[in-house]
Structure 1
């Protein structure tokens, strides 16, 4: 950062506009701001700070009074600063918020704060080229370019007087607050916060895991029907599982015995069921044979019917086919008749065909030949059909061309009429547009006048109210004066009466044997008598009443003065005009404003109408030319197309003959060819149908004789459908199968000797087997329950083991995190009692101490060095931010509070410069090309001042500019380039004077 130019106007003690040219002032790299104490040297640094950040450093920021009290009424309070940061030069203009006199009348009004940033060369990437004008945007842009906040800038660039002396002697907490502002350790605070929140999260997770262990133990207890113990959960789970396994073994033994008994009862039941089934089968076989013997005659009839139907089946198929061929023959005759009628209908338009049909039925080859001839003739007419279609399209095109030519001609005439009236209309619109423009120019002044008259009318209408208020205020003041005078008279009267009765009051306080408060005598020969005495309480009440009346009088006088002042101010602003006069003038102005507003409101519309008129003239001209060209082209095309249509029409009439057109004649020929082919196809089919009928009738009669029937009709009577034949075959087969099955059953060896009337007791065996089954199922269910309990216990125990295995590392992790969080937050095993943030600040302070020691040793001729201490504080306080000095003369580490005034200044300056170096490196390196050191040089002797000047000379290396702020006279001899701030002889304003190099500022 390098400063170029600073302009100060009505700021602080500077009543006028003062300019500081830092380019000229800092040409040698070192300059001096000097002047008397209180002359305003530090105010220039405040001006730089305020221009950049909108606030000043130190306690001066709390006052928030920036305007010069003796500045001229019209002089604005404004700061302008030109500087270069990161290769970009820009100008900042700021106006603080302040109370300024009103432009009219008495009193003040608030001037709002403003700020703007303008780029004097190419802006940085992402910044608008026109600059920024919002106060917050200007501050953010400056902070982003400088890479530091306002607090960091105040500590690093404007090394403030007294600040580092306090920092040098500060307690740990105060020193920590400053370092936090400079180095931005918020992220380390967030890390501490993260550890604390992480510990809380892990503590909740660990509690959830422990709760999960308790829940799994409760579930195991629920399965085992026992209450889990508080301790020894693992042994208890093992014991429960062992007892459950023993119960399973006992239940398995009982279940096996029940299963054996169940099997024996089931075997007995199976034996009796088998025996009963044998008796049932024998009885059923005998019953089936008896039923079959009763149906012997019926089965003989079924066999006879089935044999005849099988012989007739060969005849019925051929007879059915003969019937189908007869049906086909009838349909062929119908189609032949239909084809003849169709051909006759087509032949009515063809004399040759009609004569052939009247002469007789032509044969098939003749019909085919005649159809081919018709198709050839129709094919020859195909091209002429297309020409006929084109003829129709061309006739329509002729009509369209005629209409187009007529329309284009009429359109050109209409456009010519429109063009004739456009110039006059355009001139009229331009006249109206000029009038609207003049009205727009006059609009703002009239609006301003209208607003002024409206405000004046409002004030004029307030005059009666203000007069009434002033009258009431005067009446109230007079009443208060009268009341105060009455109260004062009452007070004076009470005081006179009390003085008159004071002797009686004192006599009333006398007691026999007690000394008098006035003369000290114990004898009271003749005490005075008090007739109308006034006590102290009454006098006090009267005094308070008189004071209250005086206060009311004072308030009434103030109110009267304010009412008179307000009335006088309004009357003065009205300039002897009445409300009616102002109202009349306001009405005239408003009428004029309405007229001007209406006229100006038409400006945009009139501009659009003028542009539209000009565009319309060009468009209409182009349209008329286009319409004339279109009419000529349409007429030319119509003449050429009409000649083509006439020639084509003669050819088409000759080809159409007696038909309406060529297409009708061709369609007739195609229809005739189709009718001829249809008749030929019908006659071919009719001949084939006749032959098929004769052939199939002869085959059916031969098949009937071969099957033993007299004729086809007899075979038809014996025939049966497939369903009846299948029914007869199935009935005979079922009867044979039933007889064979019954005899096969009786022939089985295992049924030999079984009587069909034998009785077997199955029910008693079934009941015994059911009882054995129920007992076995009950014992199996008991075994299953014990087995399920063991399985559930095994599953729950496995889950519990998994939870316990996860719990152990979680407890270890939490213990580690808990200890680490305590260390990060400066507790637990943290012997230094330093939090992470304090540790980082201690490291930064150690860097500052190292950087500051280099300059302190140089300034103190190698005597003093800074010593950083990270030892914990007393009474358990956090440490790490201790800063002492090492005195090489004694070899002892001393507290910074033991340094003398000059030594403290050297140490403070070294500490400030070291801190500036560290912060500059932290924020991006060599950005700080300008540095200011404010006061403190008066405590140094000549030799030490030489050393300090050598150190400051070193700061100029690399193009850095160092500005010293001091009233020490010796510095004026050592620094040739300087700027003097001198108080003016009148008032409290100051002015800036140049030094040896000429005028560096303008008074």
Structure 2
């Protein structure tokens, strides 16, 4: 990236519009010089702000850069034009600041408005990049290939940045490299491996607990004496192991299941035998109950036969009555036919008498109607002509009235139209007034909320920042809780290790005491074997004046060996606890580093690290977030309302134009309607004076009366004629019916005489002397049917009882009743035995099923455990390696290892220039792995190697001038490595701010030579310094001057 032009307006110490044209310096080294506070660093700030919306040092953001010297009407912005890979780009950016508004308040006072931050990127083809502010910022990073942190480290090195990288602790250097080389990816790999390892370990523990729970569910079947105790002892032994023995568990469980199966089969066989016995008892019970029922049925049959024999006399009498009743029934049929014919003859005679009477009345009325018809014909002929002429005259008059009425209707319609147009004009006027009032209210509302969009952007930025902070604090709180838990685990492991150390020391002292006592007592044991005059096996003396005596407290060799074993066991336990403590400590240190990293990444985080402060901050952030969200919601509602009101304004304007058009149309229609109304009204008055009747209603009334009179004449004539015709037809009908009735009556009389004769003959044939004896023997039909049903039922029941008696006597021949109660008791006892056996069988069956289920579950658990164990060994070792916890290897985590490779490359690139600056006096080197400190805080230490003395010392021991040369070399080396790493990045320009004042003349000359070599024909190197000697050594200078009205710049070539 090569700068072309920089324009600053009301930015920093530059009050007005200040332009710097970098094309004045085609290439090489140039100096930016001026007094302290003149505004040299502000040039760097302007370039960094234009690119990344922040200043070069990072201590000031763009919102703080509004010039205090600028006029209120001057806009604040930075315009930066640069060339990258032979393509020219231009960035125009302004911060958020308060400016003088274009309009004043109602009282004439000045009005200030907030200018929202904006950025505009012009591409090489002259088009403006279309996107929001964040998208534009991202596009700039894509073009340059550097983010703000990388840019300020390698291209624009601000004040203080030199020594930051050189003198930083390993922890701080790790953070710098994490931002520049984006190595957080490797840290996430570490955390992911650690997370997976923990998850696998938890799954292994859960699977182990599941196996123990399954083993605890195992039940032992009741078996022969002693066997159950032996099985349960074996099972409790294997199930109580910390790591279950799969083969041993399977073997014992197989034995338990096999024994249960044998007992289950035996119990099943016993249950089958008991079932057969119960079925036999049940069969005997059913036979006894059936026999008992047969004896009861035989007694009932005999009792019913006795009752039927007593009713035999009644049966014979009932049969005789049925015979007489049937004979009388045959006579009754003929009697009924005779009586029905007599009744029909009577009805025909009555009907003939009625018809003769009606015929006489009809003939009298027919004579009267003939006279009435003659009168009606005469009246119709006389009046019909007069009424018809009157009707024609009235109809002609009505036609004239209809013409007048149409004119009246036209006048009424015209009056309604005039009224309607007047009403429309009034409504249009009212609507227009309402629209104007609405428009004034909208203008007032929009004026009150014209800064809403600015406030919305502020709220959104604030909400986003607050939300990000909340997320960071939440993660920090989670990691802190994890760290506290690890700390407790560390303390507990430490106490256990210290306790085991004391136990080991006690066991060691105990063993040493016993061993020493044992050695001392060897002389006493030897003294027991000495004899007077015999040589001592040790010294050879034959005299033994003072023999060592055995002590009562002397330990035996077995006790000494036991104490030694106890010491060794305590030592082994201590080593295990110490290893556990070291592992906990490593985890705690890693968690502590994570927390420190998170806290460092949180802007404005409290330095005390007190968790209660975080909680309070999180509460405040949550409240701020809620308040901001609510404020944003209200502002967005106002914004939406403003948009809707603006649309309403457009609609109101359209509606106003439409109302004006309608008003003109209404006025024109009103004028036309009034003219037509005047013309029609005159025609109506002229025609009305010529009418014979006052109103059309009166004419219609006379017409109705005339038409009614004509209709009444016609109706009277038609009524008389119709009644005469009807009466003539009725006379003919009555005469025909009378003839028919008389013929039917004569025929009925002959039939009645024949049926009477037949009735008397049948009565004598059935044995009845006269009608009185016949009527005595008559029975009602229902009585006869009831009697027949009773006799038939009696005969049928008697026959069935006799048949049942014979059948039962045959079935019970030679048989006796059995004791049913005794059989039921025996059956009950057999059922209880069977139920008891079944319960035992089900108990054994359930135990066996449960144990088989446990066997299958344990098989799956063991298979699962094997897979999890293999995964845990792989992932666990990877996690320990990546997090620097693997024993026997360097304590470096994965991210530090990667950063160390970058660090070595940076040092090699830096030493190429440092050797020239120091004339080969010393170089920089990365500290060896064997000399590193604790894990998580080491790996990126920097030392100084003196070539002359062959010694190594810490880089912090360098003097001021040496530190500047080393720091400059490191900055240049970092720039080389970042360019090589990023690939497509081309840095054509570098700016260096201060540091040369600490060098002597020779060192400064060496540094300038190095920078001159760096600033070849295609690269610019700018130095900001107030050192006077540099003005003589560098030809091209950008001079910055400070005045009361702000800063100014000029080139000096």
Residue 771 (1) aligns with residue 770 (2)? no
Cα distance change, pair 970–289 in 1 and its aligned pair in 2 (3 A)? same
Which residue of 1 is the match for residue 670 of structure 2?
624
* Alignment check: 8 A CA contact 2:991 2:1021 kept: yes
2:1050 to 965, 972, 993: 993
1:657 and 1:935 mapped to 2: Cα distance? 133
Cα distance change, pair 735–974 in 1 and its aligned pair in 2 (3 A)? farther
Residue 33 (1) aligns with residue 31 (2)? yes
Cα distance change, pair 759–864 in 1 and its aligned pair in 2 (3 A)? same
Deviations 1:371-415 (A, max 9, x none): xxxxxxxxxxxxxxxxxxxxx9xx999979844532424653896
Residue 753 (1) aligns with residue 813 (2)? yes
1:941 and 1:22 mapped to 2: Cα distance? 28
Cα distance change, pair 118–55 in 1 and its aligned pair in 2 (3 A)? closer
Aligned-pair CA distance for 1:808: 3.6
Which residue of 2 is the match for residue 838 of structure 1?
896
Deviations 1:723-762 (A, max 9, x none): 996996598358626633651562479626347xx55433
Q: What aligned pairs does 1:884-963 form with structure 2 within 5 A after superposition? A: 904=966, 907-918=969-980, 921=983, 925-926=984-985, 931-934=990-993, 948-953=1011-1016, 955-956=1018-1019, 963=1022
Aligned-pair CA distance for 1:158: 0.7
Aligned-pair CA distance for 1:809: 2.6
1:843 and 1:315 mapped to 2: Cα distance? 139
Aligned-pair CA distance for 1:124: 2.6
* Alignment check: 8 A CA contact 1:848 1:915 kept: yes
1:740 to 779, 784, 800: 800
Cα distance change, pair 304–909 in 1 and its aligned pair in 2 (3 A)? farther
Secondary structure (helix, strand or coil) at the match of 1:292 reads: helix
Cα distance change, pair 251–49 in 1 and its aligned pair in 2 (3 A)? same
Secondary structure (helix, strand or coil) at the match of 1:831 reads: coil
The more displaced of 153-162 and 1-10 is 1-10
The more displaced of 407-416 and 244-253 is 407-416
Cα distance change, pair 916–751 in 1 and its aligned pair in 2 (3 A)? closer
Aligned-pair CA distance for 1:911: 1.4
Aligned-pair CA distance for 1:181: 1.9
1:196 and 1:830 mapped to 2: Cα distance? 19
Which residue of 2 is the match for residue 245 of structure 1?
261
Cα distance change, pair 772–200 in 1 and its aligned pair in 2 (3 A)? same
Secondary structure (helix, strand or coil) at the match of 1:953 reads: coil
Aligned-pair CA distance for 1:236: 5.1
Deviations 1:292-329 (A, max 9, x none): 3334455567778889799989999xx99x99xx99xx
Which residue of 1 is the match for residue 94 of structure 2?
93
Residue-pair matches, total: 710
Which residue of 1 is the match for residue 844 of structure 2?
786
1:180 and 1:34 mapped to 2: Cα distance? 32
User: Could you tell me the TM-score, scaled by structure 2's length?
Assistant: 0.50
Aligned-pair CA distance for 1:618: 1.8
* Alignment check: 8 A CA contact 2:298 2:808 kept: no
* Alignment check: 8 A CA contact 1:852 1:913 kept: no
Cα distance change, pair 315–137 in 1 and its aligned pair in 2 (3 A)? farther
1:818 to 864, 876, 886: 876
Cα distance change, pair 872–142 in 1 and its aligned pair in 2 (3 A)? farther
1:126 to 131, 135, 159: 131
Secondary structure (helix, strand or coil) at the match of 1:220 reads: coil
Which residue of 2 is the match for residue 46 of structure 1?
45
Aligned-pair CA distance for 1:268: 4.5
1:154 to 152, 162, 167: 152
Secondary structure (helix, strand or coil) at the match of 2:1015 reads: helix
Secondary structure (helix, strand or coil) at the match of 2:129 reads: coil
1:197 and 1:791 mapped to 2: Cα distance? 40
* Alignment check: 8 A CA contact 1:151 1:182 kept: yes
User: Could you tell me the TM-score, scaled by structure 1's length?
Assistant: 0.52
Q: CA RMSD in A?
A: 7.4
Deviations 1:410-429 (A, max 9, x none): 65389689999x99x99xx9
1:412 to 418, 424, 430: 418
* Alignment check: 8 A CA contact 2:294 2:808 kept: no
Cα distance change, pair 142–619 in 1 and its aligned pair in 2 (3 A)? farther
Cα distance change, pair 409–161 in 1 and its aligned pair in 2 (3 A)? closer
* Alignment check: 8 A CA contact 2:994 2:1025 kept: yes
Aligned-pair CA distance for 1:289: 3.3
Cα distance change, pair 880–409 in 1 and its aligned pair in 2 (3 A)? same
1:397 and 1:929 mapped to 2: Cα distance? 105
Which residue of 2 is the match for residue 19 of structure 1?
18
Cα distance change, pair 56–759 in 1 and its aligned pair in 2 (3 A)? closer
Secondary structure (helix, strand or coil) at the match of 2:93 reads: strand
Deviations 1:330-375 (A, max 9, x none): 9xxxxxx9xxxxxxxxxxxxxxxx989989xxxxxxxxxxxxxxxx
Secondary structure (helix, strand or coil) at the match of 1:833 reads: coil
1:791 and 1:661 mapped to 2: Cα distance? 115
Secondary structure (helix, strand or coil) at the match of 2:218 reads: helix
2:221 and 2:21 mapped to 1: Cα distance? 91
* Alignment check: 8 A CA contact 1:979 1:992 kept: no
1:213 to 211, 214, 234: 211
1:946 and 1:286 mapped to 2: Cα distance? 149
The more displaced of 834-843 and 225-234 is 225-234
1:952 and 1:310 mapped to 2: Cα distance? 156
Cα distance change, pair 933–407 in 1 and its aligned pair in 2 (3 A)? same
* Alignment check: 8 A CA contact 2:10 2:76 kept: yes
* Alignment check: 8 A CA contact 1:11 1:77 kept: no
Cα distance change, pair 820–610 in 1 and its aligned pair in 2 (3 A)? closer
* Alignment check: 8 A CA contact 1:864 1:888 kept: yes
Secondary structure (helix, strand or coil) at the match of 1:34 reads: strand
Q: What aligned pairs does 1:433-452 form with structure 2 within 5 A after superposition? A: none
* Alignment check: 8 A CA contact 1:97 1:111 kept: yes
Which residue of 1 is the match for residue 517 of structure 2?
none
2:367 and 2:891 mapped to 1: Cα distance? 135
1:993 and 1:915 mapped to 2: Cα distance? 34
2:329 and 2:797 mapped to 1: Cα distance? 27
Cα distance change, pair 812–652 in 1 and its aligned pair in 2 (3 A)? farther
2:330 and 2:992 mapped to 1: Cα distance? 136
Deviations 1:775-799 (A, max 9, x none): 3332333333333333333334433
1:881 and 1:657 mapped to 2: Cα distance? 134
Aligned-pair CA distance for 1:220: 2.7
1:724 and 1:981 mapped to 2: Cα distance? 151
2:18 and 2:991 mapped to 1: Cα distance? 18
1:802 to 845, 860, 864: 860
